[in-house]
Amino acid sequence: MEMIQAALGWLPMWLQVLMMIVLKIVVILIPLMLSVAYLTYAERKVIGYIQVRIGPNRVGPIGLLQPIADAVKLIFKEIIVPAGSDKLLFLLAPILAMAPALAAWAVVPFQPGMVLADVNAGLLYILALTSMGVYGIIIAGWASNSKYAFIGAIRSAAQVVSYEIAMGFALVGVLVAAGSLNLGQIVLAQSGSILHWFWLPLLPLMVVYFISGVAETNRAPFDLAEGESEIVAGFHVEYSGTPFAVFFLAEYANMILIATLSAVLFLGGWLSPFQGIPGLAEGALGAPSMLWLFIKVAFFLFLFLWFRATFPRYRYDQVMRLGWKVFIPITIVWLLVVAGMVVGELPPWFA
C-alpha cells in the first residue's frame, strides 16, 4: 500500500486520494465479480450432486470455464425491449438492482484495517442499501408491461416489506450487543473465543437474520418473485442478454453480501475460531485473517444452495405469516433478552 502511495507521490494530493479509493474499489470489485461467477458454478455443481447429476463439465476442465462461457453468451445476446414497456425504466431496473448490491461492500471489513470506508454508521448504511435492491425488482416488473412480471414485482415488494422489519430488529440486537454501528467494532466486540462470537447469545437473531436474508435476496425457498412454476420467471421474464445478466449478477452479489454480513455480525468476521484455545491460539491458526472470513462466508453460501435443493417454495400467504407472526415476535422478545444480558453484564460476552 505504501509502495503504491509512493509511486503516486508526484500527483496532486486530491488525485492521489482519488486514485487510492478507485484502486481499492477495483481490488474489492474484481474478486467479488469472480466470486459471483464461480458461485453460479458452485451452485450448479453442489445442487447437481445433491440431485444425482454431475453439473457443468463440458467447458474447460471439470466445467470450470462454464461461468465465463455463460457470461459471454449473455453479453452477445440481443437485448429485447418489449413493445409497450417503459424503455427507460426497463433498462434502469437492472442497474438499480445491481448498484446497491455492490455499493454495500464499501463498509464490509475484511481484516483489521482492511475496509474501504471505516464509517461509524456502517450498519445503518448496510440496512439502507440492502433495502434499495428491491426497487430494481419492482421497477423491472412494472416497466416490463407483462402480467407475470407484474405479479412477481408485487410479491417481491410485499415480501421485502415484511422481512425488512425482522431483519432490522435482528440488526438492532447486534447493535445492542456490540454497542457500535461500525462493522469493524462489531467484529472486535466478539473477540475472545469461538464462544464469544455473537452466534451464541444472539442465536435466534442469527437464524432470523439469515432466513430474512434469503427472503430479501429472493432465493429459494422464498423465490416467489420468480416462482417459475406459476409466473415463469417473475420480474425478469421479459429480460434477455446483458440486462438479464445484470439481474443475475445482482442476485448472486446479494447472496454473497448477506453471507458476508452474517459472518461479520454473528460469526466473528475475520476472527479465528481457535482464538482463546491454549496451544492452538498462539500459532498462525489463532491469528485473525481474511481467510477465516472467507471460510465463514462459504459456509453461509453453502446454506443458500442447500436450501434451494431441499425446500419447496413457500406460498405467498405462508411467507407473510412467517415474517409477521413468527420472526418479528421472536426478534422483539430476543431483543429484550439481549438488552437484559447487556444491562446485567452477563459473562462471558458482556462482562
Partner 1 sequence: MRPENYQAVSHPPSHEYEVFFGPNHPGIEGNYALKVRLHGDEVTAARADGGYLHRGFEKLMEGRLWIQNIALVPRICVPDPVPMEVCYSLAIEALGGLEVPERAQWIRVMQLELSRIAAHLFTFGGNAATTGMYTPMFWGIADRDLILDLFEELSGGRVYHIYNIPGGVRRDLPEGYLKRVSDTLDYIESRLPDYDNLMFTNQVFVRRATGVGIMTQEQALDWGVTGPNLRATGLPFDVRRDDPYLIYDQLEFDVPVEEAGDAWARTLVRRAELKQSLRILRQVVARLPEIDGPIRAPIPNPLAWNLPLGDVYTRVESSKGELAYYVVSNGGDKPWRVHVRGPSAMHAVQVLEHLVTGARIEDVAQIMFSLDACPPEVDR
The CB-of-86 to partner 1 minimum distance in angstroms stands at 13
50 is a contact residue toward partner 1 (CB under 8 A): yes
Q: What binding mask, one character per residue, do residues 72-111 give for partner 1 by CB under 8 A, x or -?
A: -----------xx---------------------------
Span of 3-11, 46-54, 114-122, 332-340 interacting with partner 1 by CB under 8 A: 46-54
Which residue reads 426497463 in cell numbers? 90
The CB-of-145 to partner 1 minimum distance in angstroms stands at 8
Residue 221: is the preceding peptide bond cis (ω within 30°)?
A: yes
5 is a contact residue toward partner 1 (CB under 8 A): no
Which residues lie below 8 Å from residue 4, measured CB to CB, with a gap of 6+? 20, 23
Strand, helix or coil at 269? coil
Q: Report the Cα 83 to chain-centroid distance in Å.
A: 34
Among 5, 15, 27, 310, binds partner 1 (CB under 8 A): 310
Angstrom CA distances, 27 to 20, 32, 316, stand at: 10, 9, 40
316 is a contact residue toward partner 1 (CB under 8 A): yes
Span of 19-27, 50-58, 239-247, 336-344 interacting with partner 1 by CB under 8 A: 50-58
For partner 1, give the closer residue by CB, 83 or 284.
Answer: 83
232 is a contact residue toward partner 1 (CB under 8 A): yes
2 is a contact residue toward partner 1 (CB under 8 A): no
Cβ neighbour number for residue 290 with a 10 Å cutoff: 14
Task: For residue 265, give the nearest of 218, 314, 300, 313 by alpha carbon.
Answer: 300
229 is a contact residue toward partner 1 (CB under 8 A): yes
Strand, helix or coil at 26? helix
Q: Return the bridge partners of 111, or none.
A: 114
Cβ atoms of 123 and 174 within 8 Å: the answer is yes
For partner 1, give the closer residue by CB, 50 or 68.
Answer: 50
Per CB under 8 A, which of residues 157..216 are in contact with partner 1?
Answer: none
Longest dimension (CA), the chain: 68
- Which residues are at the interface with partner 1 (CB under 8 A)? 47, 50-53, 83-84, 147-148, 151, 220-221, 223-224, 227-232, 309-318
